[in-house]
């Protein structure tokens, strides 16, 4: 009996120990179950940059495209693609035979119209004027003859040697001859009316304009560079036949280029004149060009299936290695803030109009209201509420929602 008592005591000790272990394990497991693992980030000072990107097309700021003024053959081609040309340099010449014949025809037409106007102003051509003078002289001679006859008959009538009928007959013939003289003189002074003269004057003006146009066309067969630049497009070859209006060549100053870029409507409000821009061309992926917004969008247009604002971007470091009409990607820096407190956008939460984050303090989440500055695609500026070095929760590693006071365990990085 004496030995059984100690045995029972030891048994109770083991039972109590097992109970303590089970309770401790339960508390530990319960505590572990209530703790949520979260991803975290620290509040840091960084440079905050906000950008927007889109597509665009390179174009010269000053471009010259020569067109064929008339159909014809390329007689001489004096340049090649990539060649730098000086202002006034001859580039190309078309066959001028057709243009020369047009000039000759127009000059002949103008001369004929001017001669006709001069003749009309004088009352007729030289042959017509000579004929009129001859007719007038003959008519005047007849008037003189009849006047003498009438005078003689009137004297005879007074002596009774001529009848009144004879006198009347000669007087009638004299009147008719005098009327003919008056008619001829009238035709000499006013053969053509003012409206006829005005019509002929208009014909002269029309023919003079035709000659000017023909001379301009003749002059345009010899094409010269209007400014110094580089030939970047030459779709024709020597002896090719071209139609009127067909493009012959393009010249531009490749150090003065711009990009016509198209930004989606929601992004237009972020653009402003002077903002810095980077330009990338896929054909040269290791090269980056720089520029600035020259002209912000002023209206919205339809571009394919998009509503966009058209933006002009001046390229600041073009050096001939970026070609016109190439498609590029432009990135505009709409905002740049140096050395500001920021954290990932994922950490920022909003309820109604209040912005807050969950700080981690002694293993628990503390809901902290913050003031927000600028925001880009990945980070947000913090202007108040937390300090540099504070640790905030981004989100749980599970689907658990974060709440104020929740016990958390930072995920091992």
In a domain, 287, yes or no: yes
Q: What share of the chain is helix, strand, coil (3-state, %, to 5)?
A: 35, 35, 25
Contact 233, 51 (CB under 8 A): no
In a domain, 169, yes or no: yes
In a domain, 127, yes or no: yes
**Sign of the C-alpha dihedral, residues 385, 386, 392, 394?**
positive
In a domain, 75, yes or no: yes
User: What CATH number is associated with residue 368?
Assistant: 2.40.420.20
What Cα–Cα distance (Å) separates residue 304 from each residue in 59, 301, 308, 325?
A: 20, 10, 9, 18
Same domain for 157 and 260, yes or no, is no
Q: Is 364 exposed, middle or buried (0-12, 13-18, 19+ CB in 10 A)?
A: middle
Contact 236, 74 (CB under 8 A): yes
pLDDT one-digit tens code per residue, 221-252 = 889 999 999 999 999 999 999 998 999 999 99
User: What CATH number is associated with residue 283?
Assistant: 2.40.30.170
- Using CA atoms, how far apart are residues 52 and 251, in angstroms rounded to an integer? 32
Domain that holds residue 225: 63-94+221-251
- The DSSP symbol for 266 reads G
Res. 14 pLDDT band, cuts 50 70 90: confident
Res. 313 pLDDT band, cuts 50 70 90: very high
Distance of CA 78 to the CA centre of its chain: 30
Same domain for 197 and 126, yes or no, is yes
Q: Domain boundary at 338, 356, 383, which?
A: 338
In a domain, 13, yes or no: no
In a domain, 17, yes or no: no
Res. 134 pLDDT band, cuts 50 70 90: confident
pTM: 0.58
Question: Nearest-CA neighbor of 43 among 408, 367, 358, 407?
Answer: 358
Same domain for 113 and 179, yes or no, is yes
In a domain, 10, yes or no: no
- Quick one: tokens of 227? 């400014």
Q: C-alpha angle 166/170/171, rounded to 5°? A: 110
The angle that helices 97-122 and 126-159 make with each other, rounded to 10 degrees, is 20
What does pLDDT average to over the chain?
A: 85
Same domain for 112 and 205, yes or no, is yes
Question: Nearest-CA neighbor of 279 among 289, 287, 271?
Answer: 289
Residue 11 dihedral angles phi and psi, to the nearest 5° = -65, -45
Q: Residues, the chain, total?
A: 413
Same domain for 281 and 347, yes or no, is no
The structural domain count of the chain equals 4
In a domain, 84, yes or no: yes
């Amino acid at each position: 009996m004496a030995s059984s008592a100690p045995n029972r005591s030891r048994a109770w000790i083991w039972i109590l120990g097992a109970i303590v272990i089970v309770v401790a394990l339960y508390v530990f497991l319960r505590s572990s179950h209530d703790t949520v693992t979260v991803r975290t980030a620290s509040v840091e000072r960084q440079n905050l940059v906000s950008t927007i990107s889109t597509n665009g097309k390179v174009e010269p700021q000053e471009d010259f495209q020569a067109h064929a003024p008339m159909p014809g053959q390329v007689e001489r081609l004096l340049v090649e693609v990539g060649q730098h040309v000086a202002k006034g340099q001859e580039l190309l010449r078309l066959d001028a035979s057709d243009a020369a014949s047009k000039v000759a025809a127009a000059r002949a037409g103008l001369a004929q119209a001017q001669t006709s106007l001069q003749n009309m102003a004088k009352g007729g051509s030289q042959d017509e004027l000579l004929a009129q003078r001859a007719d007038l002289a003959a008519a005047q001679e007849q008037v003189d003859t009849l006047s003498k006859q009438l005078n003689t008959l009137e004297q005879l009538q007074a002596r009774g040697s001529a009848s009144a009928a004879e006198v009347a007959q000669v007087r009638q013939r004299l009147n008719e001859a005098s009327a003919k003289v008056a008619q001829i003189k009238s035709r000499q002074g006013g053969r053509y009316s003012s409206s006829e003269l005005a019509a002929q004057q208009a014909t002269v003006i029309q023919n003079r304009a035709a000659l000017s146009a023909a001379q301009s066309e003749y002059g345009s067969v010899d094409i010269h560079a209007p400014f110094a630049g580089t030939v970047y497009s030459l779709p024709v070859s020597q002896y090719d036949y071209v139609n009127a209006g067909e493009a012959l060549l393009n010249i531009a100053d490749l150090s003065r280029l711009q990009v016509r870029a198209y930004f989606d409507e929601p992004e237009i409000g972020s653009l402003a004149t002077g903002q810095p821009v980077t330009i990338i061309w896929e054909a040269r992926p290791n090269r980056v060009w720089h520029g600035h917004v020259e002209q912000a969008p002023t209206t919205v247009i339809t571009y394919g299936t998009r509503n966009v604002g058209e933006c002009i971007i001046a390229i600041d470091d073009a050096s001939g290695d970026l070609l016109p009409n190439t498609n590029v990607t432009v990135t505009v820096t709409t905002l740049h803030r140096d050395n500001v407190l920021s954290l990932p956008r994922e950490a920022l939460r909003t309820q109604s109009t209040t912005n807050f984050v969950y700080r981690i303090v002694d293993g628990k989440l503390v809901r902290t209201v913050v003031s927000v500055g600028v925001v880009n695609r990945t980070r947000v500026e913090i202007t108040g509420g937390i300090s540099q070095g504070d640790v905030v929760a981004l989100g749980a590693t599970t689907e658990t929602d974060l709440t104020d006071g929740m016990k958390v365990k930072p995920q091992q990085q």
